[in-house]
Chain A
Amino acid sequence: MQTPQRLSVTDVLDEVDDYQQTIESLVALSNVVIHDYRGQAVICKAMRWRDDTSKKITPDIVAQIDQYALVAEVKKSLPRNRSFWDDIPSQLQKYDKDLIGWEKNPPSHDLVLMCNQIVSYPAAEYLRQAKQDGRFRPARNLCILAFNRNAQRQMFVFLKKEDGNLGHVDLDGRLKQGISVPLERVLEQLSAVKFYDTEPSVVYTMAVLWDHVFPRLPTPEQLRGSRGRKTIEVEASIDLLLHELRTYFAPPSNREVVERKWVKDAMNGFVKIGLAKKTNENDRFLIYFKRIKTEDTTLQFFATKLYGGIGSLDTYFSLES
């Protein structure tokens, strides 16, 4: 496992927050389509090109309202180095083709790029420029959609059109004004979908495994004997853990988005902080399941154990040298 050495605990926790906020935006847009328009919206659905069915692509959202359709890709943040921004048009171009895999075959579909409100304007400017200078020539409608969390009397995910147009007139008009999706409305989905097709921070995968998957491994007798105090040793394979994550925390339409590598990295993380040990058998681990006694929360505990001590500038520069 390669631990990104330059990350601080704060960076890691921000990365986790970014990941969750991205899932919130996906769930929110899906909810608008399903709840407000009685349409269909699927997170991370596998689609194929009509002209080359061997090629599989996985847009972050595929949505349909009657004969109208859109595919959306999310970019929570953009690299500081603008030379890497060229990936955005090339990713969108992958969806700018006739696709198969729809519930009802639509005549065409729109392209949507979802960005955090902080980066939505520069992203829209960049794509406008790319279209002007001919680097990006989408054959379909392209819309840049900004998302953000918004705290009023209750928490919302706020979706607002930053640039471009959608073929669905009503949805386009509403997004121009901005749509607030109350988090309260989508709590079940947010509790069930914890991964999409982008690799999360290893700390995040560790927290999901520890909080929701490991507790299922001990028998009731082991738990009763431990009484929340003693360490319980349980063995698990990567395959089993991967199966659990896919069954309960991946988007229902595409369970395969959770990759084996993510689980393996997380287990190696547990080994590194002394909460698991590799067994002689390949890809099997002995997990030391016990109550974590810390002033921090579990997430912070894992982040601090893995990345703590390299958060200060002094340590950072010593690593650089």
Chain B
Amino acid sequence: MKTPRSLVIPDGVFWTVSKSLGAHTLHGRRRPTPRTDGRTENGITDQRQAQPSVRQTFSNGESQEYSRFGKSYTAPQIRSLWVFWVPREYRYWLYDYEHPDTASILLHLESILHQNPKIKLNLLIVAAKVDLKDLFEKWQPEGYEASVKGTSEIFRMRLRKVTPETEEETLAGDILAFRFANPVYVFLSDQLTQFVKHVLHPFLDCYYPDVLPLYLSSYELFLMLRGLKDRSKGDVVIDRLTAYSRLEGPGERRRIEVTYTHETLEDVFHRVLENDQWVDKIRFSLFDPAGSLEMSGYLSRYGFFRCRHSFALFFQSVVTEAMLMAGKKLRAFGEKNRSIERPSPRRLEISYDTEVFQGREQILRFSEAMTAMKFTSTSIYHGNPYFHASMLDYLDGSSYEIWVVTGNKVHIIPQIRASDASLARLVNHIFEFFKEGSIEGYANPTETLSH
């Protein structure tokens, strides 16, 4: 078997080698040409002149020519190198250029997606009341290395998941983050989706409860897409839908269904509601009034989004709406704990439009859902004919009383320590593992879906 031994990297080219989930990726990019040449609209370098080259040499003497000139780089630890060659010079505008404001980010990303239709831009939206740049610089979780550059408002980050020396894989990637509306942050990356899911997402999870994922309901996902449709005056077609269904059998909780479809937004959500399902992920396409593809994207209830072809439209409708929703949740779930100054508890109420707790089976199902919540324990005082339990969240020490004493409501009474992040996690868990309902902080499905 031939083993790569060295790489030849041309002068003047930035290069990085990253290994992500088994895929070893060489990212090369030239220093971009100044914007004054008139050929680089919005600063995007002409792809023809920007193509860097590399030479890969193998242990058996063979070599792969990617380079005309340059200096040699020895990488003895590299056993196999899988070179994806896509012009990556746009990455300068994502991760190196110091954007003065959010408008600059929007302008450049819109241009990047228009000029590079293959690029998928991943977005992760989180809520955080603290300065995240400051937080990342002060403390980093074990197993991660993050180098952060920029301001508190807009910063770039090189994030690496440190694996034990015995393991070959190193998971690393670049991220552009910005604070759009306090307390909401947007993390952007063109890295593989796996990087965002398996590196960035777990990294941010380590900062719980300071960093709160954006939990969205099915109805909120619908509202975002409807906002996109209204703004574009086009049509949203759902390409793939991942939804959960409730299972009634003992011990059964939910079933996941993936549907490939080309139905309209309204048709899909009508069906979801009729079948008592709730949405987990959606892949969609947006067509303009003339029927041409305007953009495609992906939304998940955990605030992980993806878009292609157009960013401005996606940002102005979907991301802006998501940020408003995140702010609303933080306000609704914030400062609900008891304290010396305010010892009386304050309740939160999830209500359902039907009597979901009719019968012992439904209380039992709710009880099972509660005990299944990760990193918590419950003391169940009553499980029949009504439900009363204390719940403790070990991630940040929040604790609650949970009551079901009517046929259509769940009451949550926060105790002495109760963070907004934990409350949001609890409500999302009930939505995901029992049934979605109405609660302050979430958009309420008071309007009927219209065709």
* Shortest Cβ gap from B10 to chain A (Å): 44
Q: Which of B39-47, B59-67, B233-241, B377-385 sits within the interface?
A: B377-385
* Shortest Cβ gap from A189 to chain B (Å): 9
Complex contact A216–B381 (CB within 8 A): no
Number of chain A residues whose Cβ lies closer than 8 Å to a Cβ of chain B: 42
Complex contact A226–B394 (CB within 8 A): yes
Contact of A223 among B374, B380, B388, B395 (CB under 8 A): B395
B253 neighbours in A (Cβ, 8 Å) = none
Complex contact A298–B392 (CB within 8 A): yes
A189 and B428 CA atoms in complex are apart in Å by 26
B417 neighbours in A (Cβ, 8 Å) = 215-216
A228 neighbours in B (Cβ, 8 Å) = 374-375, 393-395
Asked whether any CB of chain A lies closer than 8 Å to the CB of B338, the reply is yes
Number of chain B residues whose Cβ lies closer than 8 Å to a Cβ of chain A: 46
Q: Quick one: given A151-B385, A191-B345, are A227 and B392 in contact (CB under 8 Å)? A: no
A17 neighbours in B (Cβ, 8 Å) = 381-382
Q: Quick one: given A155-B385, A184-B409, A191-B345, are A291 and B394 in contact (CB under 8 Å)? A: yes
Q: Quick one: given A187-B413, A248-B416, are A299 and B403 in contact (CB under 8 Å)? A: no
Complex contact A191–B378 (CB within 8 A): no
Complex contact A223–B390 (CB within 8 A): no
B388 neighbours in A (Cβ, 8 Å) = 20
* Shortest Cβ gap from B411 to chain A (Å): 5
Of B340, B394, B396, B411, most buried by chain A (CB within 10 Å of CB) is B394
Complex contact B392–A184 (CB within 8 A): no
Asked whether any CB of chain A lies closer than 8 Å to the CB of B371, the reply is yes
Q: Quick one: given A155-B386, A184-B409, A216-B417, are A299 and B395 in contact (CB under 8 Å)? A: no
Chain B stretch 22-75: residues in CB contact (< 8 A) with chain A = none
* Shortest Cβ gap from A269 to chain B (Å): 14
Chain B stretch 330-387: residues in CB contact (< 8 A) with chain A = 338, 340, 343-347, 355, 371, 374-382, 385-386
A210 neighbours in B (Cβ, 8 Å) = 379, 392
A217 and B137 CA atoms in complex are apart in Å by 27
A55 neighbours in B (Cβ, 8 Å) = none
Q: Quick one: given A191-B401, A216-B416, A291-B377, are A211 and B392 in contact (CB under 8 Å)? A: yes
B371 neighbours in A (Cβ, 8 Å) = 297
Complex contact A248–B338 (CB within 8 A): yes
* Shortest Cβ gap from B396 to chain A (Å): 5
A211 and B381 CA atoms in complex are apart in Å by 13
Q: Quick one: given A151-B385, A151-B386, are A184 and B405 in contact (CB under 8 Å)? A: yes
* Shortest Cβ gap from A214 to chain B (Å): 8
Complex contact B344–A188 (CB within 8 A): yes
Binding site for A on B (CB under 8 A): 206-208, 338, 340, 343-347, 355, 371, 374-382, 385-386, 388-399, 401, 403, 405-407, 409, 411, 413, 415-417
Given contacts A154-B405, A224-B207, A297-B380, 4 further A-B contacts (CB under 8 A): A155-B386, A224-B208, A228-B393, A291-B376
A and B contact pairs by CB, cutoff 8 A, 7 listed: A17-B381, A184-B411, A187-B401, A211-B399, A248-B415, A248-B416, A291-B375
